[in-house]
Amino acid sequence: MNFAHTLSSALVALATSLALALTPCSAAQNCGNGTDSCLTAHTLPGCSDSDCCTTVCALSPECCLVTWDASCAATADSNCVGLCGATASGSCTTPHNNGACSDGTCCSTVCAVDPSCCNFSWDSTCVFEADFYCVAGPPVQCGLPGQGGCTSLHSTPGCEDTACCNVVCGVDPSCCSGAWDQFCVQWAVQYCGACTLACPANATIEPETCGTRNNDPCESAGQTATPMAITGGGACGQLNGNVVEGVWNGDRDIYSITIPDTDGDGLARATLHLASTIPTFAVLVPASCPVNIPAALISVNAPNCVVVTAAACVAPGSYWVLVAPGTFPTVGASANILCDAIPSYNVRVEVSQLGCSPVCSTNAGPCFEVHATPGCNNATCCSATCAIDPFCCSSTWDYDCARQAAVTCNAPIPVNDTCAGALPISVGETIEFSTMRAAVEAPGIPSTCNGSTGLNIGPDLWYSYNGERSGNVVVNTCGSATDLRIVVYGGTCAVPTLVGCGSSSVVCSPSTGARVQFSSICGNTYLIRVGGETAQIAGPGRISLTAPGPVCPAFCPPDLNRDHVVDGADLGMLLGNWGFYGTGDLNIDGQINGADLGILLGAWGPCP
């Protein structure tokens, strides 16, 4: 017997027991520290993912006190739901309710593009993204024996029908490099087999009959082209011809288009769309002879009625669109195209002025507002935000991007972010604001306010109305660029009582906005809370308050800032709105003028 080994093992076991008994609260201190993966064994206790570490150490405390060995890593693999690479997270090729998936590399790749796949759930969109980004290997040859049917699921790439397999893999290359999953089956059902194309409305129709050649390109020096103008609806045409001694001696068509530059940045985004009943390609080339197909600015290959698109930013000017049978850049069908089987195609060019300027430029949308394009209009703020979340400069500037920008770029926190800091709002006043840097403060939305948007509220701001008029009061956010909800309370910030609430109102139509009407009692103060209609909505807005009822007897209307004295501060507010309406319109005639100034000066001094 090896007594030294036995004694050593006993000492380790004793040390472990003492550690567990004497330091029961210290385990959590080793969670989330360092860079050691929870899924691999390492010498130090704990691991880098705090949630997984806590889960494992609740089951095996020694993993956070002594060492993170192979047993700890195995426990993590089978219990850490939501951790990239853990078996417990579920397969990357099937949807599930938790975030993340079991292939660590694939999971990290997908979540870098779409963080919601790790933060919320691995849904069908995440599966599609995994299918696209997580290539299992080089493409396989289509039509090999034993690959499986094109309309049935199988774990291997490709399918037995060569033609169908090529079409599907042309649409989704992952079908020939990874599993033939439900998306590949859907493509096969949709695109494999005979297909027909309808000519879109307003399209240019090529008037060729079988054997005629009306709009051929110039393919060698000295030739001239006869292009047809392509319209907004695109063009519809036919292709026919023969293969003579292995060389295509048939049709190819050319169309002309002018690409403008209406925003003056020197570029426009051209998107080429093509669908054809046989393998066909289209290119966008400068309008000059001879046509240089391999040097095309944009090219698309379209198999079997599949609409294929490609886009690029190009300089404004005159261009040609060439359509030909074959696969770019080789012109030619594999066999004769007879007159009783003439294939057809649809081609269209879409031009946009968006998406070609640098994403971080003055042409982009505001940094602190949600918009559909990537980037924002402050280059420094945009770059700093995209360094944290690259999605913001590659896809859309969504809610998370705008919120991140507001924090990263030090947008000011509104002074009325809390109930205690509520800003006064007067009758006839409209206040512009943004909730993007605000937080959500308690209390929660009362159950009686439940509507189609539930009981959530996004970042909110607070205003106060001091009951200067009795009777009906209307508060609205009509015309706001953000979907908002309003909650009105009586009482105090410490003990608020619900008075009224509302979200999207048809009264604000055709613009968006919320509207609440409540009955005001002289002398009472009302707290008005305005925030996003859901928890994930924030942005710019405007709030207005109207009240047609009589002024309360003890009220001091000229005290515009509500500090109980009429003085220079109130005079400054009135003069600042001179000639307009709102704060300072003391006689409510729709304009701030000398009559209002007289009322204010007549009340100069402490309010009664």
- Coil, helix or strand at residue 28: helix
Please indicate, yes or no, if residue 108 is contained in any of the structural domains. no
Output the DSSP codes for 280-311.
EEEEEEES-SSP-GGG-SEEEEE-TT--EEEE
| 363 & 338 share domain | no
Burial label for 190, CB within 10 Å (0-12, 13-18, 19+), is middle
| 437 & 483 share domain | yes
Are 203 and 229 contacting, i.e. CB atoms less than 8 angstroms apart?
no
Q: Which residues contact 526 (CB under 8 A, 6 or more apart)?
A: 464, 465, 466, 467, 473, 488, 489, 490, 499, 518, 520
pLDDT for res 8: 41
Output the DSSP codes for 201-255.
TT-EE----TT--SSPPP-STT----PEEPBTTBEEEE--B-EETTEE-S--EEE
Q: What is the average pLDDT across 433-442?
A: 90
Please indicate, yes or no, if residue 287 is contained in any of the structural domains. yes
- Coil, helix or strand at residue 8: helix
pLDDT higher than 70, residue 493: yes
pLDDT for res 366: 92
pTM, to two decimals: 0.43
| 442 & 320 share domain | no
Q: How far apart are CA 141 and CA 161, in angstroms?
A: 11
Q: Give residue 340's pLDDT band: very low, low, confident or very high (50, 70, 90).
A: low
Are 160 and 144 contacting, i.e. CB atoms less than 8 angstroms apart?
yes
| 345 & 226 share domain | yes
Q: Residue 418, CB half-sphere, CA atoms under 13 Å: how many?
A: 4
CA dist 469 → 220, 477, 488, 489, 515 (Å): 85, 20, 16, 17, 19
Domain span at 300: 204-351
More reliable by pLDDT, 131 or 372: 372
Q: Which residues contact 502 (CB under 8 A, 6 or more apart)?
A: 449, 485, 486, 514, 515, 516
Minimal CA–CA distance to 283: which of 346, 347, 232? 347
Burial label for 126, CB within 10 Å (0-12, 13-18, 19+), is buried
Q: Which of 324, 351, 378 is the last residue of a domain?
A: 351
Instruction: Tell me the per-residue pLDDT of 68-83, one tens digit each, with 9 for 90 and over.
Output: 999 999 999 999 999 9
Instruction: Tell me the per-residue pLDDT of 528-541, one tens digit each, with 9 for 90 and over.
Output: 999 998 888 999 99
Please indicate, yes or no, if residue 46 is contained in any of the structural domains. no
Are 325 and 333 contacting, i.e. CB atoms less than 8 angstroms apart?
yes
More reliable by pLDDT, 136 or 319: 319
pLDDT for res 391: 87
- Tokens 């660029």 belong to 481
What letter would DSSP give residue 493?
S
Minimal CA–CA distance to 348: which of 279, 257, 261? 257
Instruction: Tell me the per-residue pLDDT of 238-280, one tens digit each, with 9 for 90 and over.
Output: 887 776 566 666 788 899 999 998 878 788 889 999 988 878 8
pLDDT for res 575: 93
| 330 & 268 share domain | yes
Instruction: Tell me the per-residue pLDDT of 180-191, one tens digit each, with 9 for 90 and over.
Output: 887 788 788 777
Q: Which residues contact 250 (CB under 8 A, 6 or more apart)?
A: 239, 240, 241, 242, 243, 325, 332, 333, 337
Q: What is the average pLDDT across 387-410?
A: 89
pLDDT for res 456: 84
Alpha helices in 282-439 (DSSP H): 379-388, 391-394, 399-408
| 280 & 333 share domain | yes
Please indicate, yes or no, if residue 264 is contained in any of the structural domains. yes
Please indicate, yes or no, if residue 209 is contained in any of the structural domains. yes
The structural domain count of the chain equals 4
pLDDT for res 544: 93
Instruction: Tell me the per-residue pLDDT of 439-453, one tens digit each, with 9 for 90 and over.
Output: 998 788 888 887 666
601: left (phi over 0), alpha (psi -120 to 50) or beta: alpha
pLDDT for res 3: 40
Q: Phi/psi at 429 (nearest 5 deg)?
A: -90, 145
pLDDT for res 12: 39
What letter would DSSP give residue 421?
G
More reliable by pLDDT, 478 or 353: 478
Q: Which residues contact 440 (CB under 8 A, 6 or more apart)?
A: 457, 458, 459, 460, 531, 535
| 318 & 363 share domain | no
Instruction: Tell me the per-residue pLDDT of 23-32, one tens digit each, with 9 for 90 and over.
Output: 434 455 678 7
Average pLDDT, rounded, for the chain = 83
pLDDT higher than 90, residue 20: no
Q: What is the average pLDDT across 515-523?
A: 88
pLDDT higher than 90, residue 571: yes
Q: How far apart are CA 46 and CA 353, in angstroms?
A: 52
Please indicate, yes or no, if residue 119 is contained in any of the structural domains. no
Q: How far apart are CA 455 and CA 445, in angstroms?
A: 5
Kind and range of the H or E run holding 476? strand 471-476
| 310 & 393 share domain | no
Please indicate, yes or no, if residue 33 is contained in any of the structural domains. no
| 396 & 508 share domain | no
Minimal CA–CA distance to 414: which of 499, 573, 583, 531? 531
Percent of the chain with pLDDT over 70: 88
Please indicate, yes or no, if residue 156 is contained in any of the structural domains. no
Query: Could you count the other beta carbons within 10 Å of the beta carbon of residue 283?
Result: 26
| 211 & 343 share domain | yes
| 223 & 334 share domain | yes
* CATH number of the domain bearing residue 488: 2.60.120.380
| 390 & 254 share domain | no
Minimal CA–CA distance to 192: which of 61, 330, 304? 304
More reliable by pLDDT, 321 or 551: 321
Minimal CA–CA distance to 323: which of 289, 340, 298? 298
Q: How far apart are CA 86 and CA 466, in angstroms?
A: 58
